[in-house]
Structure 1
Amino acid sequence: MEARLQKVLSELGIASRREAEEMIRRSRVRINGVLAQLGQKVDPEKDTITVDGQPILAKRRPPLVYVLLNKPLGVVSTCHDPQGRTTVLDLLPPKLRQDIGIHPVGRLDVNSSGALILTNDGDLTFKLTHPRHSIPKTYQVVVQGHPSEVVLEKWRRGVLLDGRKTRPAQVSYLERLTNSSRLEIVLQEGRNRQIRRVAEQLGYPVVKLHRSAIGSIQLKTPKTPSLKEGQYRFLQDDEVRCLQNQTKHIPTNDSAEVRSRQNHEMVQEKK
């Protein structure tokens, strides 16, 4: 059965759809010996797909894996880094990072720490990074200075970034420190460096940013010990079901809206 190439590569555990698109753009993928084109449809049962000259077998799909990582500072949320920096895959054992197509879901800035999901479930990755997703993400943030309630209310209502207003956010004042303040921020969108950019715009730059939860999935639960930086654990079955239920309304097809938004985010990340 034919499907878009990036979707097939994702389902076979080769890469996320987003990374598969980048592989195609870089001329790393061929179909029946011919360079693949973005959006091209293939039948993995009939067509010969190669990545970097290596054939991809349609029956090789590995079991689905879901991991929660506590990302340390200085680690990049990608599978490969041209600058040679440590990636989130480097923190996993070889049996997890080799030949099963595991990849990070979304991004967490190199100077931020905290919860990051990694999986080889391409459909779930697509849905979780879809513009229509509404899974809240919780952050513990330290900012310079002491923002007033008026400033926090502006943050809650939304701030213009790149000509588009951010969605309403939950912003709570947790602690007043000597020269800074500790806030808890809950977002339902994931625009590039959003918290840092909004804080800078409001005049209270971020000193420290840590993501403590993705929806109901937390670094520490009653059933599991708190994850130290650099550690990971497998998601429990009920956690995976929760993610699937929260995203079941999102279509799995590659719409023009999604491709446009993903391309925009890729450009922003390279700046």
Structure 2
Amino acid sequence: MRRPVGEITRGTTGFNRLRRADRWLAAVHGNVLRAAARPLVVDLGYGASHTTTLELFTRLRRIRPDVEVIGIEIDPARVALARPYEREGLSFRLGGFELPVPRPPDVVRAFNVLRQYGEADAWHYWQELCAKLATGGVLVEGTCSEVGHRAVWVGLDRNGPRTLTFSARFDAFERPSDLADRLPKTLIHRNVPGERIHAFLKDWDHAWAVSAPYGAHGLRQRWLAAVETLGATWPVPQHAPLGGRTRWRLGELTIPWSATG
């Protein structure tokens, strides 16, 4: 058998850790699953527990009752621990970035996987995974905090990155730039003066500061005001599925990937 491609991760996971990303995936890219003839979703590098893969399966079955979800792990012991939880439409396999699945996946979710790699490797594996997607498919790659209260992820298709999303509990940060520690590997080292991502986070911090009076009505209202202020100078999507108050009220902000470069 071919050796799986990649390195074993820390494996940290937990209940509802990826709820924010799953919610966004269902809202923004649920149409990908609805349009697929035989929808296949891959959870790459699910960690030491099957928990987040099972949660993804349960959430996506509300969109497509026949969706198939395959959890892939490079550690044989983790695969063995997960297999007792298999059921119709949900399975676990040994593998890595080569994606040992029966057909091109419509969705690949890879969270807290590329964080341990260098920037060049992260770009490489983005390209490798995107090339394996089904037509119209999407890769959601990101990182989150230990309990999932702060997260940043990128939405990619066969042509590369398309969106960058920030998501947080309103009490999980002091200023928006605190989320910078969750930036994808391809951006985190570019968060320095002179780079677009640094300018964006600086402007968001300013918008957050000038929106402080709205905090008297709660942190959600302050977030909404800050996002609207930021949207005056940055290409913040204003309408569903990527933007608008419905998404912002959840503690989300999505911008086009092109705005960061």
TM-score by length of 2: 0.28
TM-score w.r.t. length of structure 1: 0.27
Q: Is the radius of gyration larger for structure 1 or structure 2? A: 1
Structure holding more helix per residue: 2
Name the one with the larger strand percent.
1
**Which structure carries more relative contact order (alpha carbon 8 Å, separation 6+)?**
1
